[in-house]
């Protein structure tokens, strides 16, 4: 085993633009209902990787690791996929726009975001347009650009409809987000390529499509409240290199829309931000709106006072790129919006909250914080808890699960390493969740999941294989009960809690213990040394256990060594070998003492965040890369692959195979009989000379030749050869 290398992981940075609502599949671009009208070519992650430099997401220190796992491994985390436009802007391929559906809608939320690809000339052209527009501003426009706000919305066309000049590129959006950096609390944007131009027949009210609106983008920005003075329209305009005229404040948008509400006082920025976010996918509104994909699913959240607009194509929420859980947080906002309740007063409001909690749109904490008067009303908490428990029993499972084991002697800081790693993962993977909403510390057997509320990261502190079985309520004599909990392809597992049960929805297990990783994984497989007899109990196949743990760590008082499972790295057919990949030199005792010495919980959290990023940032990157994204297939390609790898045998083929097996068995029986006959004829004058002692060395060639001749002459074997 080679020596582990020492690495400094302080340079690890996440990619710029994670989109939390990233779907796991995309519509077939040939069968999309609007494919003929948009001219888009949709590329998968694997196709796009050939056009981009993968090193942008891979800092130099990671490149030095002893393993190279696939870089595109982020669909399960919600990273933005590559959905690229062709070099030209989309041009309708049909002259009969009336054939297009109005308003038109994506098939669901599981669609990919659009990213518009530009040439260097187009990027330069857009920046020249911005400079010219800024230089031509009037005095009134310059005065307006000094208006300050915490929330802004942006709408800009890709090209000027009259001159054809490029006004907006994806590069401007990315650069603007990077420029504002830490000042941005939350942001979201979407490209709109499918919006309709419509004509309405006055006599019948019938709506007909007469064209497609130009490609444009919408963006919503929320600036952090604690970062000094509020920014101005000019701040946003310069950051994104877009004219100040297309940057608007909530006060301006509500003035133009009589149905909207201007929020004031506490929480105004948050409410205004989500009101503007709600517009991004154009979800159906009103009883007279043409039903889309969302009205049926979230009808109780819809603001029925707002009219539908038939020209607005309804985009799946997966089209939105955001730095937070867009769909979940938007639903939570819609559920607590007072003007969205049906005209039924407080009873309808309470019913809406129950439905939102039962569907997973709201957590109990969100109801408590946003609607304290309703939450603390007599009898409400108990029913809200039942709604939450019902959701947790049926909530969707994560696409896959990753398991880690951290082992080492007592008092070396294993638990602290586990917490630091869990918190660093949570901040990266689940930025929209508080740490206690993302991480659950499993209790001792008997009360292991008493407070579990669907957290995606579980820490099993100081657990052995048998105690894990006890914690989930299994029988320690039936070791198979542990596999579903550690299954990398999650299955629904219900565990008991007081007055009910709950499904485990975690995507990460972090287990700590005093055993070495070899002892733990052997014990997991059922192999152990009996303490009373000293006998070793062995199992035939340990891959059942080893194949569930891709990364392990060994902690000492001065170092943390990380090892990668060779099977997961594609280096071996066996999962029982590990390669050392990195070593962190750190005195965990001093780290723990430092945390204990800090006076406030805020200071402790700040230190843990910095320490986790410095010490364990590289393992977070490794986590992102552990699960490769399979190449996207069309239905036709999948069927062709199935056809090439599958054969179907009928009765005749099965009968022939059975006959061949019987013939081979008969031939083997004949050889055995011949050998017995040779032994019986030993020392007999009528047998072959070699048969008088067929087992001496000089007799072996004659014996082999005789057996071959007999086998080839046997009719059963002849039939087998012919078959």
Residue 47 has pLDDT above 50, yes or no: no
Peptide bond into 536 cis (omega under 30): no
Quickly tell me which residue has 């990213």 as its tokens: 115
More confident residue, 532 or 406: 406
Residue 231 lies in a domain: yes
- Six-digit token pair at 311? 């020209």
The DSSP letter of residue 300 is G
CA distances from 225 to 103, 247, 268, 435 (A): 38, 19, 11, 21
Residue 174 lies in a domain: yes
CA distance 450 to 464: 20
Residue 468 lies in a domain: yes
Q: Is 245 helix (H, G, I), strand (E, B) or coil?
A: helix
Residue 627 has pLDDT above 80, yes or no: no
Quickly tell me which residue has 């048998």 as its tokens: 466
pLDDT band for 259, please (50, 70, 90 cuts). low
464 burial (CB, 10 Å; 0-12 / 13-18 / 19+) is middle
**Domain co-membership, 716 together with 618:** no
- For 57-107, the three-class secondary structure string (H helix, E strand, C coil) is HCCHHHHCCCCCCCCCCCCCCCECCCCECCCCCCCCCCCCHHHCCCCCECC
Could you list the residue range(s) of the whole structural domain that residue 207 is in? 117-324
Q: Looking at the DSSP assignment, which residues form a beta bridge with residue 407?
A: 513, 554
pLDDT in tens, 492-521: 888 877 777 888 999 999 999 999 999 898
Q: Which of 300, 324, 348 is at the close of a domain?
A: 324
Tell me the average pLDDT across 239-264: 83
**Domain co-membership, 695 together with 611:** no
Tell me the average pLDDT across 536-565: 84
Residue 530 lies in a domain: yes
Q: Please state, rounded to an integer, the average pLDDT across all residues of the chain.
A: 74
- Going by C-alpha positions, the residue among 702, 710, 715 that lies closest to residue 672 is 710
Residue 523 lies in a domain: yes
Tell me the average pLDDT across 223-229: 73
pLDDT in tens, 591-612: 888 888 998 888 888 898 888 8
**Domain co-membership, 673 together with 616:** no
Write the DSSP string, 561-572: EEEEETTTTTS-
- Of 61-65, 399-403, 628-632, the range with the lowest mean pLDDT is 61-65
Residues above pLDDT 70, as percent of the chain: 69
pLDDT at 91: 41
Number of H helices and E strands in the chain, helices first, is 26, 18
pLDDT at 529: 66
E strand map for 566-676: 578-585
pLDDT at 545: 85
Q: Is 513 helix (H, G, I), strand (E, B) or coil?
A: strand
Residues above pLDDT 90, as percent of the chain: 22
Residue 127 has pLDDT above 60, yes or no: yes
Q: Looking at the DSSP assignment, which residues form a beta bridge with residue 174?
A: none
The DSSP letter of residue 408 is -
What's the number of domains the chain is made of?
3
pLDDT in tens, 656-676: 888 888 877 877 777 777 766
More confident residue, 356 or 238: 238
**Domain co-membership, 319 together with 406:** no
**Is 81 within 8 Å of 72 (Cβ atoms)?**
no
pLDDT at 700: 60
**Domain co-membership, 422 together with 505:** yes
Residue 233: CATH number of its domain? 3.40.1310.30
Tell me the CA end-to-end span of the chain in Å, nearest whole number.
51
Residue 16 lies in a domain: no
Pairing of strands 247-248, 494-497: unpaired
**Domain co-membership, 179 together with 311:** yes
Residue 258 lies in a domain: yes
Q: Is 441 helix (H, G, I), strand (E, B) or coil?
A: strand
Q: How many C-beta neighbours within 10 Å does residue 682 have?
A: 12
Tell me the average pLDDT across 111-140: 92
Angle (deg, nearest 10), helices 715-722 and 651-680:
150
52: Cα separation from own chain's centroid: 21
CA distance 53 to 73: 15
Quickly tell me which residue has 């006890």 as its tokens: 470
**Domain co-membership, 581 together with 662:** no
Q: Is 374 helix (H, G, I), strand (E, B) or coil?
A: helix
**Is 552 within 8 Å of 626 (Cβ atoms)?**
no
Write the DSSP string, 169-233: -HHHHHHHHHHHGGGEEEEEEEEE--PEEEEE-TTT--EEEEEEPPPEEEEEEEE-TTSSSPPBH
Q: What is the pTM of this model?
A: 0.57
pLDDT band for 16, please (50, 70, 90 cuts). very low
Tell me the average pLDDT across 406-418: 92
Residue 51 lies in a domain: no
pLDDT in tens, 452-484: 999 999 999 999 888 888 888 776 566 677 888
pLDDT at 12: 27
Tell me the average pLDDT across 37-46: 32
Q: Which of 625, 659, 693 is at the close of a domain?
A: 625
642: Cα separation from own chain's centroid: 26
More confident residue, 161 or 155: 155
pLDDT at 611: 87
- Going by C-alpha positions, the residue among 155, 190, 139, 152 that lies closest to residue 273 is 152
Q: Which of 301, 324, 347 is at the close of a domain?
A: 324
Q: How many C-beta neighbours within 10 Å does residue 487 have?
A: 14
- Going by C-alpha positions, the residue among 251, 279, 271 that lies closest to residue 189 is 279
pLDDT band for 20, please (50, 70, 90 cuts). very low
**Is 98 within 8 Å of 210 (Cβ atoms)?**
yes
CA distance 27 to 46: 16
**Domain co-membership, 202 together with 263:** yes
How many residues in total does the chain contain? 723
CA distance 280 to 220: 9
More confident residue, 14 or 434: 434
Quickly tell me which residue has 């008997």 as its tokens: 446
Write the DSSP string, 652-716: HHHHHHHHHHHHHHHHHHHHHHHHHHHHHTTT-TTS-GGGGSTTSGGGHHHHHHHHHHHHHH-HH
pLDDT at 540: 57
Q: Is 407 helix (H, G, I), strand (E, B) or coil?
A: strand
- Going by C-alpha positions, the residue among 460, 547, 476, 470 that lies closest to residue 511 is 460
pLDDT at 29: 38
**Is 1 within 8 Å of 87 (Cβ atoms)?**
no
**Domain co-membership, 610 together with 662:** no
pLDDT band for 353, please (50, 70, 90 cuts). confident
What region does 211 belong to: left with phi over 0, alpha with psi -120 to 50, or beta? left
pLDDT at 475: 66
**Is 435 within 8 Å of 426 (Cβ atoms)?**
yes
- Six-digit token pair at 570? 């594609």
**Domain co-membership, 587 together with 689:** no
CA distance 250 to 235: 16
Tell me the average pLDDT across 282-289: 55
Tell me the average pLDDT across 305-325: 76
263: Cα separation from own chain's centroid: 34
pLDDT in tens, 551-592: 999 999 888 999 988 888 778 788 888 988 888 888 888 888
**Domain co-membership, 445 together with 520:** yes
**Domain co-membership, 297 together with 223:** yes
- Six-digit token pair at 265? 């006082």
């Amino acid at each position: 085993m080679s020596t582990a290398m020492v690495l400094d992981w302080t340079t690890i940075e996440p990619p710029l633009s994670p989109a939390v609502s990233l779907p796991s599949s995309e519509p077939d671009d040939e069968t999309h209902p609007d494919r003929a009208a948009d001219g888009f070519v949709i590329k998968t992650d694997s196709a796009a990787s050939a056009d981009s430099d993968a090193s942008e997401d891979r800092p130099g220190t990671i490149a030095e690791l002893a393993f190279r796992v696939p870089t595109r491994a982020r669909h399960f985390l919600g990273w933005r996929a590559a959905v690229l436009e062709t070099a030209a802007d989309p041009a309708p391929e049909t002259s009969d726009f009336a054939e297009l559906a109005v308003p038109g809608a994506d098939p669901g939320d599981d669609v990919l975001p659009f990213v518009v690809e530009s040439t260097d000339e187009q990027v330069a052209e857009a920046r020249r347009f911005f400079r010219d527009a800024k230089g031509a501003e009037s005095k009134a426009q310059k005065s307006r650009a000094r208006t300050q706000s915490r929330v802004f919305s942006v709408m800009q066309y890709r090209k000027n409809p009259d001159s054809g000049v490029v006004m907006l590129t994806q590069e401007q959006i990315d650069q603007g987000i990077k420029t504002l950096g830490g000042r941005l609390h939350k942001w979201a944007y979407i490209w709109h390529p499918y919006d309709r131009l419509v004509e309405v027949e006055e006599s019948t009210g019938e709506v007909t499509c007469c064209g497609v609106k130009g490609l444009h983008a919408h963006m919503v920005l929320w600036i952090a409240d604690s970062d000094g003075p509020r920014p101005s329209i000019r701040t946003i305009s310069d950051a994104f290199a877009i004219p100040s005229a297309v940057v608007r404040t909530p006060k301006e948008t509500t003035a133009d829309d009589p149905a909207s509400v201007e929020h004031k006082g506490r929480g105004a920025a948050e409410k205004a931000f989500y009101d503007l976010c709600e517009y991004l996918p154009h979800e159906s509104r009103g009883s007279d709106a043409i039903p889309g994909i969302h009205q049926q699913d979230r009808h109780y959240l819809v603001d029925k006072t707002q009219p539908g607009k038939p020209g607005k194509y309804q985009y799946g929420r997966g089209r939105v790129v955001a730095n937070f859980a867009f769909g979940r947080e938007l639903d939570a906002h819609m559920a607590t919006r007072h003007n969205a309740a049906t005209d039924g007063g407080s009873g309808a409001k309470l019913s809406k909250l129950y439905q939102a909690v039962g569907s997973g749109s709201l957590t109990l904490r969100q109801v408590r914080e946003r609607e304290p008067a309703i939450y603390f009303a007599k009898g409400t908490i108990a029913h809200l808890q039942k709604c939450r428990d019902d959701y947790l029993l049926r909530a969707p499972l994560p696409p896959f699960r990753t398991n880690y084991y951290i082992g080492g002697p007592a008092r070396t800081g294993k638990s602290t390493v586990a917490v630091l790693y869990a918190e660093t993962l949570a901040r990266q993977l689940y930025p929209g969740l508080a740490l206690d909403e993302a991480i659950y510390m499993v209790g001792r057997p008997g009360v292991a999941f008493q407070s579990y509320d669907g957290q995606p990261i579980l820490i099993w502190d100081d657990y052995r294989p048998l105690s894990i079985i006890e914690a989930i309520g299994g029988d320690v004599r039936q070791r198979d009960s542990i596999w579903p909990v550690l299954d990398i392809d999650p299955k629904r597992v219900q565990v008991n809690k007081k007055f009910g049960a709950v499904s485990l929805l975690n995507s990460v297990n972090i287990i700590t213990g005093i055993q070495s990783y070899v002892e733990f994984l052997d014990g997991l497989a059922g192999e152990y040394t009996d303490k009373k007899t000293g006998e070793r109990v062995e199992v035939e196949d340990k891959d059942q256990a080893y194949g569930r743990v891709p990364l392990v760590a060994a902690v000492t008082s001065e170092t943390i060594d990380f090892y990668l499972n060779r099977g997961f790295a594609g280096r071996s057919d066996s999962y029982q070998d590990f390669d050392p990949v990195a070593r962190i030199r750190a005195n965990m005792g001093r780290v723990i003492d430092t945390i204990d010495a800090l006076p406030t919980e805020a200071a402790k959290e700040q230190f843990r965040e910095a320490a986790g990023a410095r010490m364990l940032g590289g393992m977070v990157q490794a986590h992102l890369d552990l699960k490769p994204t399979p190449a996207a297939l069309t239905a036709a390609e999948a069927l062709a692959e199935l056809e090439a790898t599958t054969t179907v045998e009928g009765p005749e083929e099965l009968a022939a195979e059975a006959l061949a097996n019987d013939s081979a068995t008969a031939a083997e029986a004949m050889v055995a009989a011949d050998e017995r006959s040779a032994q019986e004829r030993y020392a007999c004058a009528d047998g072959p000379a070699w048969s008088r002692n067929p087992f001496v060395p000089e007799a072996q060639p004659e014996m082999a030749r005789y057996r071959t001749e007999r086998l080839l002459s046997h009719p059963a074997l002849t039939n087998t050869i012919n078959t």
